[in-house]
Amino acid sequence: MRKIIFVIPSLAAGGTERQLVHLIKGLEKNFNITIVCTRTGGAWAGNVRRHARVEVLGLRGGWDPRMTKRLTRMFRKFKPDIVHSFMFGFDYVVNVAARQSRVPIVVSSRRQLADWKKPRHIRLQKKANPLVDAIVANSHAVAAFASAQEESSIDSYRVIHNGIDSTAMLSNVAPAVVRKRFRIPKSKFVVGMVANMSPVKDYPLFVETAAEILRRREDVHFLMVGHGPEAGSILRKIKKMHLLDSFTGIKTVSELPDLLRLFSVCALTSKVEGLPNVVMEAMAAKVPVVASSVGGIPELVENEKTGLLVPLRTPERFADAIERCLDEVGDTQSRVQRAYTNITLEFSLPKMVDGYEKLYDELIEKALRDQD
């Protein structure tokens, strides 16, 4: 059985980590799998241990000087056929350790539009790229962005979209029960946003959109699911605009299927996106989607067909699109059904796993040919 080692900072409860957990479960029949967490195990480490070996290095971060030595020792011990890193662009140390250990195949990942990277980060990434056999991007937008930013050939990239278990997003809990649990008004539409409260998600725009809608009508309540560094400033903005009674905030996403069942519309006001899991989750939960037309979102949502995209990110434009979903019931349901069909066919977990298996097989066969 072929051996593969995945390297990731931790198995915390995040989008990339969740996709890796799905991938591991899909690959376990054909691969002997080891997960190396460079920092901590994380919330999902226990679950993953049922399907793969988990090794935790307990290092400080991507710049820990002990990492190369520790990884090299790990790779020499387990002798993998493939090392695949999910290091958010900081894969240089992983690649060096893999090559020093004579690992046949080295793969890295790009899963976001990393416009936060500084010149020193990009210089290091340029040194890392010649050491890999392929780079997996989770959207064409991410591949194009990384190729331009790192001045690397687009031919180095393989796009494999995220997958989703659509059945896991369908809740059997009655909406009235969920409304009561979170004290959400009984008779109002619920417009929700599920996202980390970081600058890139632009929650202030969501709050301003809510204010614009409430100027037009009184039958809407707004739900924010997530937490993050901007949580305090967002709450202060809501209070300053006298919108506190129209908002409910929930930190955890553990009950996301139940919450999505309440949504009349799922909004996403992000400035940039790679391939947002929440859009896939909303479509699988049969919730109408209104989202910024940025990054990889148009690869998920076909405007007017499977959702509504907002090219000009203003409160007025978002409010217009959300009101269309609330008022044009027949058109909205048609879009929802097409979205559900598309997400279950084109973005399924088996399709994602198959994409990775084909890539690994292709790279292994190439390595064998090169040896002859």
Q: Is 14 left (phi over 0), alpha (psi -120 to 50) or beta?
A: beta
Residues 6+ apart with CB under 8 A from 15: 276, 277
pLDDT digits (tens, 9 = 90+) for 136-161: 999 999 999 999 999 999 999 999 99
pLDDT-derived band at 26, boundaries 50, 70, 90: very high
- Provide DSSP, 237-263: HHHHTT-GGGEEEE---TTHHHHHTT-
pLDDT-derived band at 230, boundaries 50, 70, 90: very high
pLDDT digits (tens, 9 = 90+) for 36-83: 999 999 888 998 999 999 999 998 766 677 889 999 999 999 999 999
pLDDT-derived band at 240, boundaries 50, 70, 90: very high
Radius of gyration of the chain (CA): 22
This prediction has a pTM of 0.91
Give the C-alpha separation, 20 to 4, whole Å.
13
Partners of 290 in beta bridges: 267, 308
Partners of 3 in beta bridges: 32
- Give the model's pLDDT for residue 65: 78
Classify domain 2-163+348-371 by CATH number. Answer: 3.40.50.2000
Q: Is the pLDDT of residue 254 over 80?
A: no
- Give the model's pLDDT for residue 369: 82
Pairwise pLDDT comparison (84 vs 175), residue with the higher score: 84
Report domain 166-346's class. Answer: alpha beta
- Provide DSSP, 256-313: HHHHHTT-SEEEE--S--SS-HHHHHHHHTT--EEEE--TTHHHH--BTTTBEEESS-
Phi/psi of residue 250, nearest 5 degrees: -130, 125
pLDDT-derived band at 9, boundaries 50, 70, 90: very high
- Give the model's pLDDT for residue 62: 60
* Torsion (CA) 297, 299, 304, 307 in degrees, nearest 10: -50
Rounded to 5°, angle at Cα 107 from 103 and 113: 155
Q: Is the pLDDT of residue 237 over 90?
A: yes
Partners of 4 in beta bridges: 33, 82
- Give the model's pLDDT for residue 66: 87
Neighbours of 253 (CB within 10 A): 18
Task: Enumerate the CATH 3.40.50.2000 domain ranges in the chain, comma separated.
Answer: 2-163+348-371, 166-346
Mean pLDDT score, 279-285: 96
pLDDT-derived band at 89, boundaries 50, 70, 90: low
The percentage of the chain sitting over the pLDDT mark of 70, rounded to a whole number, equals 98
Pairing of β 53-56 and β 31-37: parallel
pLDDT digits (tens, 9 = 90+) for 175-211: 999 999 999 998 899 999 999 999 999 999 999 999 9
Q: Is the pLDDT of residue 315 over 90?
A: yes
Q: From residue 116, give the alpha-carbon distance in Å to each of 89, 120, 273, 277, 354.
A: 11, 11, 13, 20, 32
| Amino acid letter for position 169 | M
Residues 6+ apart with CB under 8 A from 261: 171, 173, 175, 178, 285
The side-by-side arrangement of strands in the sheet containing 220-225 is 247-250, 220-225, 189-194, 265-268, 289-292, 308-310
Mean pLDDT score, 217-245: 95
- Give the model's pLDDT for residue 90: 76
Q: Is the pLDDT of residue 371 over 80?
A: no
Rounded to 5°, angle at Cα 292 from 205 and 199: 45
Q: Decide if 290 contacts 321 (C-beta within 8 A).
A: yes
